[in-house]
Amino acid sequence: MYHLGIDLGSSSVKVALVDADSGKKIISLHEPPNEMEIIAINPDWAEQDPNMWWTHVCNAIKRVTVEADVNVSEIKNIGISYQMHGLVIVDESGNPLRNSIIWCDSRAVEIGRKALQDLGQDLCGTHMLNAPGNFTASKLKWVIDNEPETYKNTYKFMLPGDFIAYKLTGKMATTKNGLSEGILWDYKKDDVATDLLDYYGIDKNLVPEIVENFTNQGTVNVQGSKETGLAEGVQVTYRSGDQPNNALSLNIFNPGEVAATGGTSGVVYAVSNNLKPQEISKVNHFAHVNYTASEPVIGTLLNINGAGIQYRWLRNNCGNDSYDVMNDKASKIEVGSNGVVIIPFGNGAERMLENKNVGTHILNLNLNQHNNAHLYRASLEGIAFSFVYGVEILKKDIGEIKVIRAGNDNLFRSEIFSNTVATLIDHDIEIYNTTGAVGAARAAGLTDGDFEKFGENITKNDHVMTYKPLQDKAAYQAAYTTWKNELEMILKHK
Ligand SMILES: Nc1ncnc2c1ncn2[C@@H]1O[C@H](COP(=O)(O)OP(=O)(O)O)[C@@H](O)[C@H]1O
Ligand SMILES: O=C(CO)[C@@H](O)[C@H](O)COP(=O)(O)O
């Protein structure tokens, strides 16, 4: 038997199949072959069509079963990982009423800022563990204010992964974890955050049914079966935002353990039991996959909206080299990129920079000296520096870091990126042979609640290598100082 994992990213949908007993990966692939578009009709906006996600999910599932040559009757459970904080609104028939306003959309920043002022730091911090920010609840308030007709026709709102689960099963549902991503979970009351709902004037009936993770959340229905080729009756047993899911995939469940990833966005995600966070805007706090009200496990999340999307932009606009070729060219350039500095970002408001939208900056380019290899190295370094800058903020909130793990995926496949981060934060980074889709597939089999056994298998089987901080740090530190000075100068004028 097999479990199927779906990871709905911002750049593509990844689907993986694992053996149900051993957790071994059978196949993993992504759709579409080229990365998905993020629609930005206004500079601060970012949208994607939920039906486009679904088309790619269906195509990827069909390819998986054909290419792995498995009989669909052998697929037991489904796990879903998804880009976090997005807003999907549907009518009573489940049709999306507009494009999804996705995680990196900044239109609701001012709405969230005012809500924090009006509700107060204390209420937001102790009940929701976060400022409302421009997360799902604030995005829905933007719809109320700007698209009243659409809001009037809204039957339910969901997170992106809830929509995929709905398309598979016909059941509209969400999770506590999902609501926490929208700043819609009240940890003190162990209930939906009615203080924020009421403040925004959001009708509580729009919140779908809440289902528990690691249990049967719904089964593939006739329509879901027809569109994906899966057998009717297959159970969806897990769903999670992609960052908590990345942590689960890396056996990060306990306080002091940290997961990192460098996809479109970059994230450092630290687990704790802290229900009284110091910082509620620059870093965020969400219910981890194993959160329960009696044993609250919280993921403290440092996010860089514009991380891998920076490198991707260079790839698309600077010669179309493959990432491997770009990494190779960058490795020929010395640390510090011969003075070229890239401030990444450029993908909406940055939470760690108090929701300022600073844009990407390419600095000190000498047209007689520098070529695309300098840009590639400066991009990898600039993104790595933004991680280091973020970890300095995160550390104030989380205390001691025991272990940091990342999958051998996305930016962590670049030695320059990984060495720069490890050296400057002065911590080992353990690299594991796993991805979000594989993790979600394995989590679909975690219905016995044995997190320890689940984690042991990952540690035993998947560890590939460890990036150790380099001894000779001086050049890295000098380049980081230059980068930080440039950033701080830019921030002064924002
Ligand atoms: N071999 C590689 N070396 C360095 N960076 C890479 C490599 N492959 C992918 N990336 C980076 O990872 C990003 C995609 O990461 P991914 O986790 O698939 O994104 P998402 O979850 O946002 O869909 C790319 O935009 C690119 O910046
Ligand atoms: O907003 C966050 C985390 O808080 C992002 O990490 C999104 O969850 C999207 O991730 P990717 O598309 O980069 O995987």
Test site for ligand 1: of 37, 85, 315, 410, most ligand atoms within 8 A of the Cβ:
410
Please give the pLDDT value at position 319: 79
**How many structural domains does the chain have?**
1
pLDDT category at 34 given cuts 50, 70, 90 is: confident
Confidence of residue 349 (pLDDT cuts 50, 70, 90): very high
Ligand 2 mutation pick, 14, 105, 265, 285, max ligand atoms within 8 A of CB: 265
pLDDT category at 320 given cuts 50, 70, 90 is confident
Q: Is the CB of 84 under 6 A from ligand 2?
A: yes
For residue 435, is it within any domain?
no
Listed in order, strand segments (DSSP E) in 305-418 are: 341-343, 361-363, 403-407
At 42, which CATH number? 3.30.420.40
Cβ proximity of 251 and 455 under 8 Å: yes
Amino acid at 37: E
Under 8 Å between Cβ of 488 and 361: no
**Structural domain range at position 206:** 2-250
Write down the residue that tokens 């306003």 correspond to: 101
For 308-315, what is the mean pLDDT? 96
Q: Tell me how far apart the alpha carbons of residues 361 and 344 are, in angstroms, rounded to a whole number.
A: 7
Within a domain: residue 137? yes
Backbone angles phi, psi at 67, to 5 degrees: -70, -30
Q: Are 350 and 493 in contact (CB under 8 A)?
A: no
Whether residue 468 lies inside any domain: the answer is: no
Longest Cα pair distance anywhere in the chain, in angstroms?
64
* Proximal ligand: closest to the CA of 245: 2
- Quick one: pLDDT band at residue 398, thresholds 50, 70, 90? confident
**Nearest residue CA, atom 9 of ligand 2?**
83
For the record, the structure tokens of 372 come out as 């695309």
In a domain, 200, yes or no: yes
Is residue 457 very low, low, confident or very high in pLDDT (cuts 50, 70, 90)? confident
Q: Does ligand 1 come within 6 angstroms of the Cβ of 9?
A: yes
Output the DSSP codes for 83-107: -SS-BEEE-TTS-BSS-EE-TT--T
pLDDT digits (tens, 9 = 90+) for 239-284: 999 999 999 999 999 999 999 999 999 999 999 999 999 899 999 9
- pLDDT at 42 > cutoff 90: yes
Instruction: Please give the pLDDT value at position 357.
Output: 93
The answer on pLDDT for 287 being more than 90 is yes
375 found inside a domain: no
Ligand 1 neighbour 10 (Cβ under 6 A): yes
Query: Which pLDDT does position 302 carry in this prediction?
Result: 97
Q: Burial code of 355-380, b = ≥16 C-beta within 10 A, e = fewer?
A: bbbbebbbbbeeeeebeebbbbbbbb
Bridge partner list, 13: 8, 31
pLDDT at 461: 85
- Percentage of the chain exceeding pLDDT 90: 95
Q: Is residue 411 part of a domain?
A: no
pLDDT value at 169 more than 90: yes
Question: pLDDT tens across 83-119, in order?
Answer: 999 999 999 999 999 999 999 999 999 999 999 999 9
Instruction: Compute the mean pLDDT over every residue in the chain, rounded to the nearest whole number.
Output: 96
Mean pLDDT of 316-326: 92
Whether residue 217 contacts residue 236, with contact meaning beta carbons closer than 8 Å, is answered with: yes
Whose alpha carbon is nearest atom 27 of ligand 1? 308
Q: Say if ligand 2 is within 6 A of residue 136 CB.
A: no
DSSP 8-state symbol, 219? B
Q: Give 408-423 pLDDT, tens digit per residue.
A: 989 999 999 999 999 9
Q: Which pLDDT score, from 0 to 100, does residue 460 have? A: 84
Q: What is the CA(83)–ligand 2 centre distance, in A? A: 5
Ligand found nearest the CA of 285: 2
Give yes or no for a contact between 437 and 443, defined as CB atoms under 8 angstroms apart. no
Nearest to 81 by CA among 267, 236, 209: 236
pLDDT of residue 396: 87
Task: Evaluate: CB of 8 within 6 angstroms of ligand 1.
Answer: no
* Ligand with the closest atom to the CA of 13: 1
What ligand is nearest to the CA atom of residue 242?
A: 2
Q: Is the CB of 100 under 6 A from ligand 2?
A: no
In the predicted model, what is the mean pLDDT of residues 195-203? 98
Atom of ligand 2 nearest to the CA of 11: 12
Query: Which of the listed residues 83, 135, 311 should we mutate to test ligand 2's pocket, taking the one with most ligand atoms within 8 A of CB?
Result: 83
Q: Which of 385, 308, 310, 371 is nearest to 338 (CA)?
A: 371
Question: How confident is the model at residue 400, as a pLDDT?
Answer: 86
**In whole angstroms, what is the distance from residue 9 CA to residue 3 CA?**
19
Asked if residue 162 is part of any domain, the answer here is yes
134 is a domain residue: yes
pLDDT of residue 420: 98
Q: Give the mean pLDDT of 208-219.
A: 97
470 Cα to the center of ligand 1, angstroms? 24
The pLDDT of residue 466 is: 97
Closest CA to 49 of 37, 33, 31: 37
Report the interhelical angle of 474-492 vs 415-425 (nearest 10°): 90
